[in-house]
Amino acid sequence: MKVHTVGGYNEVGKNMTAIEVNGEIVIIDMGADMETVIEYEEEMETLSTKEAIEAGAVPDDSDIHDRKDDVVAIVISHGHLDHTLAVPKLAKVYDCPIYATPFTKKIVERIIKDDDARVNNGVRTLKIGETTTLSDHFELEFVKITHSIPHTPLTVLHTSDGTAVYSCDFKLDEEPTLGNKPDYERIRELGDEGVKAYIADSTRTDQKGRTKSEHETAIELRSIINRAYEDNEGVIVTTFSSHIARLNNILDANDGRRKVAFIGRSLKEYTQSAQELDLIDLSNVEVLSYYNEVEDFLRRASKEKGDWLIVCTGNQGEPNAVLSRIARGEYNYHIDEKDRVIFSSSTIPAPVNEANRYKVEKLLRERGTQVEVDVHSHGHGMREDQRDMIRLLEPEHIVPAHGGTEKLAATASLAIDEGYVLEQNVHISQNGNIVNLDRPA
């Protein structure tokens, strides 16, 4: 078995890994580097594959590309754009289907359409808890795990040369608010059966402790919203549009007390996909995205602030998102000291996001608005969660993924703490390299 570490091994973003067994290759994820995508904005869709690779926006897959006939399947682990957004640029050269869970499939199909790309691979659905045959040497199984977007599985490849487990992005949430807890029984069983390679999400392994549950954030949200309602304030919440569990928690916190509006294009797209799969109920929510309807609505809501709970895009301070436009006074919503703005998110650590967030927060505070930040629990396991995963899986080899060298080294040091030996059975790799697990140590 060889692990091709194509992208996401020099940075947080543009994740792409490929597993090779007996000359057959399965690709897992085709993500974009979101920082670069934000810089390019709409231009991104006009870039050719070569230009997108050169810009650093998508992984450089030339190593796999040269052997494209050996690729038997593309698996997209979950819907986040750092795992999906390179599909329109990269997938079409591979003559094989894409596999994904139902919610992820909707996202992948939408981004293909948005890019106007001729991607004819077709997206096949595999539900969590199910297994399917990909080729002579590969079977794919999706195992229940928790993350910050629905339908995220632990991606498991059973091969003729042992099992590879890819922890796409994961947290171990004991009290998830949408869907079940991780399937510890099956994960332990995988460990008992034998795992040859564990490709480990290292996004937050460099942080001590454990990631807090979504349930805790739900309680925090409710108490902030309660206080704001008691004071009859205008309430605006912003969060990740794909975080359907959080959006449900916002609706639960409201508990029918106020009318609710979801405003912004991405909120509309993600929540409509979620509704089609019964993951959210929008029957009592006004969902708006076109400029004129948003403008009309906000003019009205500005006069009846105490009647509305507004949920809008812009949690990273994106200049074109609804919250930034409200803060700049571009709509007829007079935001002032009678409003409370809740960032139910954390800022993704990149200079462009930090600068954008600073600007929006400054504008809001200058208008006297009360601002609550970091009402959030993120979707990645921290050091002790990762330790649990390693103990459950007891893999022969660990390949840390999803981060630059420092983050990968944090997972490696944890593995060493658990008895692994660097370069023997824990492997720090870089983009474009191959970790050959057949090589005698």
Residue range at the interface with Zn ion (CB under 5 A); choices 38-46, 78-86, 260-268, 403-411 = 78-86
Residue 433: beta bridge partners?
5
* Residue 140 near residue 100 (C-beta atoms within 8 A): no
Q: What is the DSSP string of 381-422?
A: --HHHHHHHHHHH--SEEEEESB-HHHHHHHHHHHHHTT--B
CB of 61 or CB of 82, closer to Zn ion: 82
Residue range at the interface with Zn ion (CB under 5 A); choices 11-19, 77-85, 248-256, 358-366 = 77-85
Dist. CA 30–CA 186, nearest whole Å: 27
Backbone angles phi, psi at 71, to 5 degrees: -80, 120
User: Which residue in 133, 141, 147 sits closest to 195, CA to CA?
Assistant: 141
Smallest distance, Å, CB 78 to Zn ion?
6
Residue ranges of the alpha helices (H) in 135-200?
Answer: 184-193
Residue range at the interface with Zn ion (CB under 5 A); choices 79-87, 303-311, 348-356, 429-437 = 79-87
CB of 77 or CB of 238, closer to Zn ion: 77
Dist. CA 260–CA 348, nearest whole Å: 27
For position 402 contacting Zn ion by CB under 5 A, the verdict is no
Smallest distance, Å, CB 380 to Zn ion?
8
In the region spanning residues 269 to 298, those forming contacts with Zn ion, defined by CB under 5 A, are: none
Please tell me what DSSP assigns to residue 57.
S
Smallest distance, Å, CB 359 to Zn ion?
26
Smallest distance, Å, CB 149 to Zn ion?
6
**Total residues binding Zn ion (CB under 5 A):** 2
The residue whose Cβ lies closest to Zn ion is: 169
- Per-residue binding string, Zn ion, 154-193, x by CB under 5 A, is ---------------x------------------------
Q: For Zn ion, which residue of 14, 80, 383, 402 counts as binding (CB under 5 A)?
A: 80
CB of 5 or CB of 369, closer to Zn ion: 5
Cβ within 8 Å of residue 305, ≥6 positions away: 232, 233, 234, 338, 339
Smallest distance, Å, CB 379 to Zn ion?
6
How deeply is 117 buried, as exposed, middle or buried, from its count of CB atoms within 10 A (0-12, 13-18, 19+)? middle
Smallest distance, Å, CB 145 to Zn ion?
11
CB of 105 or CB of 340, closer to Zn ion: 105
Residue numbers at the binding site for Zn ion (CB under 5 A)? 80, 169
